[in-house]
Structure 1
């Protein structure tokens, strides 16, 4: 596993990649980050450089979708299914946990969808910040609610 640090406009991010693709985008106090022990810092890793470039474009309002090789193998098949569905939520739009459960044709799995959403290792790239409660409230975000608010406000500004 390789990593680089990226100072984003909303705070430091740690970008991680495997040989298969980008495998992590973590905020400084990311709730489910297990640490980078044994990882190798590699500022020149091509996937990490591409991720940094695309994130810079995103924060500048020049990119709405990410085009990166992703490695989602850290998740269960259910989590990967949820993470794939998250990528279908359009820029500057939101969805609910219930709607996401419907989307993957598991309408009774709302809590499991929420848990999978919270375990998404690719913050911003796989836009779990776009999922809110059915009543419109901003709920949990592994990167912190302040960051979720900032990302939603940024997307609204550039929509």
Structure 2
């Protein structure tokens, strides 16, 4: 399988996008904790080629620009999971149901996937999310209201939540 990647800047730092011919399979901040691991997993699935232009990567880069300008609240770039167990993928799919500007706790996600006793496993799965921002793991906080962890840094989680609170008020 051929995989194509490109790096680009966002207001919150440099990101890397990886795509097949027709779907986005990874979107990550380059300094996130899981970035090297996800790249290695993708290398096992196919060859990675740096490109200067790819239509899927151009689409997500454009949508992210609109998102950071407060003009986009739903991402339409086609995605697919090439990494993760079926459990992890079910968690990531549940995350995509979360509305912009909202937050839930890890237990809520466990209930969404009908695995209420799996809160810790849900938290672990969230930490391995291969599609940062568009699979909104930043919207999950601890039961006590604290932010909890974030693979790409708590300062980014704070900024994303603050940004989405502003977007929510403009689209409501």
| TM, length-normalised to structure 2 | 0.88
Structure 1 counterpart of 2:68: 59
Structure 2 stretches of 5 or more lacking a match?
none
Instruction: Point out the structure with the larger helix share.
Output: 2
2:145 to 121, 136, 158: 136
Question: Residue 55 of structure 1 aligns to a residue in which SS?
Answer: helix
2:28 to 15, 26, 29: 26
CA distance in 2, matches of 1:27, 1:51: 14
Contact residue 22 and residue 56 of structure 2 kept, 8 A: no
Structure 1 stretches of 5 or more lacking a match?
none
More divergent stretch after superposition (10-19 vs 30-39): 30-39
Question: Residue 39 of structure 1 aligns to a residue in which SS?
Answer: strand
Report how far residue 20 of structure 1 moved. 4.8
Count how many residue pairs are aligned between Structure 1 and Structure 2.
159
Structure 2 counterpart of 1:16: 18
| RMSD across aligned positions (CA) | 1.3
Q: Equivalences for 1:3-152 in 2 at 5 Å?
A: 3-34=5-36, 35=39, 39-152=48-161
Q: Deviations over 1:37-62 (max 9, x none)?
A: 75211232111010101111100000
Question: Residue 35 of structure 2 aligns to a residue in which SS?
Answer: coil
More divergent stretch after superposition (67-76 vs 18-27): 18-27
